[in-house]
Structure 1
Amino acid sequence: MYGNESDVGAAIAESDLSRKDIFLTTKVWYDRLEPQALKASVDESLAKLGTDYLDLLLIHWPSPDDAVPMADYLGALRDVRQAGKARHIGVSNFTIAQVDQAVELLGADALLTNQVEVHPFLQNHKVVEHCQRLGLTVTGYMPLAVGKVMKDDTLKRIADDHGATPAQIALAWVVSRGIVAIPSSTKAKNLQGNIEALRIELSQAERDAIAALDRGERIADPDFAPNWDA
């Protein structure tokens, strides 16, 4: 879907890094969830990435309107892991009910993560806390709300107090909730700044101020999305 697997594979091949020092994740798009199509999608991804295994393989979106039964595509996902083509498997954009169904199908320890949208303006408490109670790692995508955090007065004030940027404060807040943040950037300077955000410790008052920013502003909401938890 992102169209970058070949470029990532080329970059890995040109680097001096050992494969074991890279955590490589890819996803299966929702139109390839039929078991054979899913497995073919994985093989295509492996070929483009120039590797024989993934560290994490995710279902990008649950099947719209359950067109493909979850038991079918999660069963295929499990087969891929058992074949040694993925060290870990997980899901993305699953609601509480869908997470529960997935756990019932595969077992509590089978899935590594549920990747969902999380940022100060969409804090997604219900699904985040439900996954954490089940022992699932929550991965938060769009933690910077496509740059909107840079314009927020509360985040700017807290950033000034820490000698940081609003983006770093947003990332520090996401991480403080026990969520793995996955910001994206094409600039080396910003990538380094994202790493430095891990050193920021927010006070309870600062976390409370950020918690008050929640307005349910969902950015990734395509017409095939599930019925989100309110």
Structure 2
Amino acid sequence: MATHDADTIAPETCPTTSGIPMLGLGTWQNEDPEQCAESVRTALEMGYRHIDTAQIYDNEEAVGEGIAAADVDREDIFLATKIWISNLSHEDVLETARDSLDRLGVEYVDLLYVHWPAGEYDAEETLSALSELYEEGLIENVGVSNFQPEHLEEAVDVCDAPIVANQVELHPLLPQAEIRETCTEHDIEVVGYSPLARGRVFDQPEIQEIAAKHDASEAQVSLAWAREKGVIAIPKATGEDHIGDNWESLTVDLDPADIDAIDAIDETNRAVDPDFAPWN
């Protein structure tokens, strides 16, 4: 397989939409503080400009250390975190969002998500708190995560601040067509987590064949497919090799036949499915 020099892909060549870089670094289950900080630093110095974390990941402090260690200006980084389901009452949102900023070591985050419409979530109470943080300048954008179309419609109706993104599990085995359509109707970006289906895409013959055709990895093909769908992907990676392999997906250009072949994969697999998920 041919490889590219990840360092030759300049940050400004990473396509962006609504100010959110199309490829980011996910940090879910990157729980070792030293490794997490090093992953973030490595990604940023490679060219990534989008870092995603959450309160429940228990790594906000390490993410902040990685940002501080990287030779990249804070204002050039799009940083997102999420409020956990037990912290979604109005006052808890206000308090724990500030706690997240303290752990991250930043004065603001570029995007603050409601992690799930579950637990203490109440559309009016929760989203009014996020709107308040938005007005105070502590968050640049409001987002939601794991919202089904009906939750998204309600959130758009009640939130004073614009909702810019819905983060959901999305990959070739879970393309989320209905959610993508609803987001398009409301001019909301789709951010896809677990875009490699936690490794399951590597075993798909269609993706393997396209990867061989483009002299690329299966991960790169899956991320290129997401990009063609207008989806912002945030794959988790810890080691420099995997971080670089994902970054090089920006050099992979799929043709319409490739997209059709991936769309035709007759397998559905949801990797993240807690009991409190809104579809259960």
* TM-score in same-fold range (> 0.5): yes
Cα shift readout 1:97-130 (whole Å, capped 9, x = no counterpart): 01100111126x7011000111111111011111
CA distance in 2, matches of 1:17, 1:198: 20
1:10-49 equivalences under 5 Å are 10-49=65-104
Aligned residues: CA RMSD: 1.4
2:187 to 121, 135, 159: 135
CA distance in 1, matches of 2:95, 2:203: 43
1:49-68 equivalences under 5 Å are 49-64=104-119, 68=121
Give 1:81's aligned amino acid: Y
Give 1:97's aligned amino acid: E
Displacement after TM superposition at 1:156 (Å) = 0.6
Displacement after TM superposition at 1:214 (Å) = 4.9
Q: State the TM-score, normalizing by the size of structure 2.
A: 0.77
1:102 to 130, 145, 155: 155
1:1-230 equivalences under 5 Å are 1-64=56-119, 68-106=121-159, 110-227=162-279
Give 1:21's aligned amino acid: D
CA distance in 2, matches of 1:114, 1:145: 18
2:30 aligned partner: none
Q: Contact 1:123–1:214 (CA<8 Å) still a contact in 2?
A: no
2:20 aligned partner: none
Change (3 A) 1:184 1:214: farther
Q: Which moved more, 1:206-215 or 1:91-100?
A: 206-215
Gapped regions of structure 2 (runs ≥ 5): 1-55
Q: Contact 1:63–1:70 (CA<8 Å) still a contact in 2?
A: no
Cα shift readout 1:1-59 (whole Å, capped 9, x = no counterpart): 10111111122222332110111110000111001111111111111111110011000
CA distance in 2, matches of 1:104, 1:171: 32
Aligned residues: 225
Q: State the TM-score, normalizing by the size of structure 1.
A: 0.94
Which structure exhibits the higher relative contact order, with contacts defined as CA atoms closer than 8 Å and separated by 6 or more residues? 2
Show structure 1 runs of 4+ deviating over 4 A. none
Q: Contact 2:85–2:121 (CA<8 Å) still a contact in 1?
A: no
Give 2:195's aligned amino acid: P
Displacement after TM superposition at 1:152 (Å) = 1.3
Cα shift readout 1:170-228 (whole Å, capped 9, x = no counterpart): 00001100110111100112212212112212121111110112533111110111027
Identity of aligned residues (%): 39
Instruction: Tell me the SS of whatever aligns to 1:115.
Output: strand
CA distance in 2, matches of 1:199, 1:120: 19
Displacement after TM superposition at 1:63 (Å) = 2.4
Gapped regions of structure 1 (runs ≥ 5): none
Cα shift readout 1:52-77 (whole Å, capped 9, x = no counterpart): 1001100000124xx54211000101
